[in-house]
Structure 1
């Protein structure tokens, strides 16, 4: 299923769903950030996805990291909340969503690298490499807030 992302675009389709989601900034011992290249749009992104009815938000982040990368993680903190109504995600099946995303900090506690059917590539990236990657602005914002090591989570 293809995915198109819009930001502050007057030509974006009108949302027909609101999805609660979680993502995680996972780092290795060298401070590199775990990123996946999404199969549905070809852009690099943090691992994450929608919350199931039986999940908590931190549990969603843990599950999504495992499903998308193969790594087991534990949540170590909160980067922020991301609810910008100017960000619209449209899927080829007709779903057009606004997404409420909570982004966590996490560290690897087990597992091993495994590419899921949602990704074409998974890599740990040095923060200095990230500016050169094709990535949606909302992903860059989460990474920027993580790298700023803010004393309080971003609320937006």
Structure 2
């Protein structure tokens, strides 16, 4: 199976294509001892994001979050809590090969709190152009999709898990 070649994210767009599937993903909201947030710049669309990827058959959401972070950043993490569950129909992702739409997905994301326990920063160039630790006050000017920004904002609040 070849990797999807193009991804288009829609947010609160009435003209977005209708979803054809739903898939659960796990994301990792990772902070260091200085309170900075781990971000990577996506290779496919150039947007900043937190480590995120699909939950595979035979693994838990927590295992998926740990695996995705390792694959995308080279860092080993430990899950320490839950930021929330994000399932709004406002977010639709289109995956395309050339001009052909392969899938229109309405994601369900479980965002996990985590901390680094090992590994070394080594972003996978197929996944990430760049890896960066960002102070909360420096997040505003970064090009972050609204669905990801919501996860980050909820993670920074540190309150009860978000369900939405």
**1:36-70 deviation per Cα after TM superposition (whole angstroms, max 9, x unaligned):** 10011110000010000011001110000000000
Q: Which segments of 5 or more consecutive residues in structure 1 lack a partner in the other structure?
A: none
1:53 aligns with 2:57: yes
TM-score normalised over the length of structure 2 = 0.92
Give unmatched runs, 5+ long, in structure 2.
Answer: none
Partner of 1:127: 136
Residue among 97, 101, 111 paired with 2:105: 97
Deviation, structure 1 residue 16: 1.4
Cα deviation, 1:79-120, whole Å, max 9, x if unaligned, reads 000000111001123211011000010000100001111110
User: Offset of 1:127 from its aligned partner?
Assistant: 0.8
User: What is the TM-score when the length of structure 1 is the normalising length?
Assistant: 0.97
2:46 match: secondary structure:
coil
CA distance in 1, matches of 2:14, 2:155: 30
1:39 and 1:11 map into 2 onto residues whose CA distance is 26
Q: Residue in 1 aligned with 2:148?
A: 139
Q: CA RMSD in A?
A: 0.8
| C-alpha distance in structure 2 between counterparts of 1:38 and 1:55, whole Å | 24
For 1:51 and 1:12, the matched residues in 2 are separated by: 25
The count of aligned residue pairs is: 155
Shift in Å, 1:13: 1.1
**Corresponding position of 1:106:** 114
**Deviating 4+ runs (over 2 angstroms):** none
